[in-house]
Amino acid sequence: MKVIDQGKGPAILLLHAFPLNRTMWEPQLDVLSSKFRVIAPDLRGFGGSQPPSPWTMAEMADDLSALLDDLEVKTCAVAGVSMGGYIALPFWSAYPERVSKLVLANTRARADNDTEKAARNEMIAAIQQSGSGTLPDRMLPRLLRPNAPMDVVQTVRKMIEGVDTAAATYAVMAMRDRVDFSTTVHRITCPTMVVTGKDDVIIRTEDSRAMADSIPGCRFVEVPESGHLSNLENPNEFNRVLMDFLLYGGL
């Protein structure tokens, strides 16, 4: 795995969204690394983690555990946005002793329903027919809030344009086939925060709140002026709530 490893202190593992890469965390790096060791990998097939290969959420969790072993990190806070949250939950499930705190941003615990699986299959077909070049125009209107800052739009578009077609296909398959954790999250015992974007049209605020209500002692935060990529669209507020939780959040 290609990885950012920056700063000293307690570790935090940052898991990126689809179809982005580790550089989506750049607005967080300076703030977090002032207090923490920030570890932000490119997930399998994305960014510098080549070549792509098929994977499941459980296998990606194992990849991350092996990465932490290589970096000699025993425990860490784990924060995931969107697909990163889909991976954070099986990582917590398989390696609860490694997770000191958990941040689930713009994500959900339940598996895809039949309608969502059909949409994933349609996306896979489009990617295989037209390549990953079909993704920016398809995804940007849903990833970002209306009238998002142009620099954010350009940053996200550039990341999506660089995605390997096979990597995109394997990731959509992994998301389509992921395990349902909605009946398991009540077992989470580490301090947890659920983050939602006020204008997120992919993961609605009410869905995020319901997930937070299912987790004992969970902190729930709505980030204003943000859609599905809250860490990029409103980094100042995202950084504020994340740092507050990492420094002071507890059960």
pLDDT at residue 50 in the model: 87
pLDDT at residue 241 in the model: 98
Per-residue pLDDT averaged across 171-187, rounded?
97
Q: For the chain, how many structural domains are there in total?
A: 1
pLDDT at residue 1 in the model: 86
Q: Give, in degrees to the nearest 5, the angle at Cα 192 between 189 and 196.
A: 150
Cβ-based neighbours of 248, under 8 Å, separated by 6 or more? none
Task: Find the farthest-apart pair of alpha carbons in the chain and give their distance in angstroms, rounded.
Answer: 49
Domain extent for 236: 3-248
CATH number of the CATH domain containing 30: 3.40.50.1820
pLDDT tens for each residue of 36-82? 999 999 999 999 998 899 999 999 999 999 999 999 999 999 999 99
pLDDT at residue 249 in the model: 82
Number of residues written out for the chain = 251
Q: Say yes or no to pLDDT of 89 above 90.
A: yes
Question: Residue 251 — pLDDT band, cuts 50, 70, 90?
Answer: low
pLDDT tens for each residue of 150-178? 999 999 999 999 899 999 999 999 999 99
Query: What does the alpha-carbon distance between residue 212 and residue 232 come to, in Å, rounded to a whole number?
Result: 22
CB 198 within 8 A of CB 241: no
pLDDT at residue 192 in the model: 98
Q: Say yes or no to pLDDT of 190 above 80.
A: yes
Q: Say yes or no to pLDDT of 12 above 60.
A: yes
Q: Say yes or no to pLDDT of 250 above 80.
A: no
**Rounded to the nearest 5°, which phi and psi values hold at 148?**
-65, 150
Nearest to 24 by CA among 195, 129, 142, 155: 155
Mean of the per-residue pLDDT values of the chain = 96
CB 20 within 8 A of CB 231: no
pLDDT tens for each residue of 97-144? 999 999 999 999 999 999 999 999 999 999 999 999 899 999 999 999
